[in-house]
A and B are shown apart, each in its own frame.
Chain A
C-alpha cells in the first residue's frame, strides 16, 4: 500500500467495508476534511457508502481515533469493521 499524497488524506477500507464500497483505498482532497467525522461523512456519500453502519470505528495512522480527532494531509484513516481475530 503506497502512502497518501501529501495533498490528500488516504482512506483504507477492510473486510465488509471494502466490499460495501467496492474499493480498499481511496484519497480525499485534504482541504475537504479536517476531522475523522468529516472523513466518514465524505465516504458515506460515495456509492455504497450509505450501507456503512451508523457508527464506524476509525484509526488514524495505526491508532484508534474518535470522530472529533483531527486529520491532516498525508494521514491514513482506516475504517475498521467489528474485529474478529482470535
Chain B
C-alpha cells in the first residue's frame, strides 16, 4: 500500500499527532466526511478508486509544496474502497508556529487534493442507481454504465 492512501478507517488524531511538535503552536485539521446526499439524491454508500501510484506521488508533491509555500508541516491521507455515510474520506493535518499559515496551508492542501490527485468516486443511491461523481458535469455526476454489476 502507499503512504497516503488507506483502505482502512482513517485516524485524524494520529495524523495530527504526526505533524505537531513543541515549536508549532497551531494545528489545523480538515476531515472530509461521506455525505448522505448529492444533487438531491440520497447516497447509500460510495466507492473511491485511484490511480494509486500517481495519487500517492501527487499527495507527496502537495505536502512538499505546502512546506515550501508556508512554514508548516502538512500531512494528508485519503481513503479508498467502499465507504459508508459518515465515514472520513480524507484527512489533512497542518501544523505551524502560528494559526495564519496553518489555516491557509490546510485550505490550500485540500483544494489541491481535489484538483490534482487522481481519485474517483462512484456513488450508490437509495433508488438503486449509481453514478460517477464529475464536478465538471451538469448535476455533478454521470450515470454509471455498470449499475449493479459490482459488489
Q: Which residues of B contact A84 (CB under 8 A)?
A: 119-121, 132-135
A15, B46: Cα distance in complex, Å: 13
Per-position binary interface string of chain B over residues 110-121, scored 1 when its CB falls under 8 Å from any chain A CB and 0 otherwise: 100111111111
Q: Which residues of B contact A62 (CB under 8 A)?
A: 53-54, 57-58
Per-position binary interface string of chain A over residues 11-40, scored 1 when its CB falls under 8 Å from any chain B CB and 0 otherwise: 010111001100000000000000000000
> Looking at chain B's contact residues, is the secondary structure mostly helix, strand, loop, or mixed?
mixed
Q: A82-B134, A82-B135, A84-B135 are in contact. Are A15 and B115 (CB under 8 A)?
A: no
Are B145 and A19 within 8 A (Cβ)? yes
Report how many residues on chain B are interfacial, defined by Cβ distance under 8 Å: 34
Are B54 and A81 within 8 A (Cβ)? no
**Which residues 41-64 in A have Cβ within 8 Å of B in the complex?**
59, 62-64
Please name the residue on chain B nearest to A48 by beta carbon.
B145
A63, B61: Cα distance in complex, Å: 11
Q: How far is the CB of A50 from chain B (nearest CB, A)?
A: 14
Which candidate, B11-19, B66-74, B95-103, B136-144, is the interface stretch facing chain A?
B136-144
**Which residues 32-48 in B have Cβ within 8 Å of A in the complex?**
32, 48
Binding site for A on B (CB under 8 A): 32, 48-51, 53-55, 57-58, 78, 89-90, 110, 113-122, 132-137, 142, 144-146
Binding site for B on A (CB under 8 A): 12, 14-16, 19-20, 59, 62-64, 78, 80-86
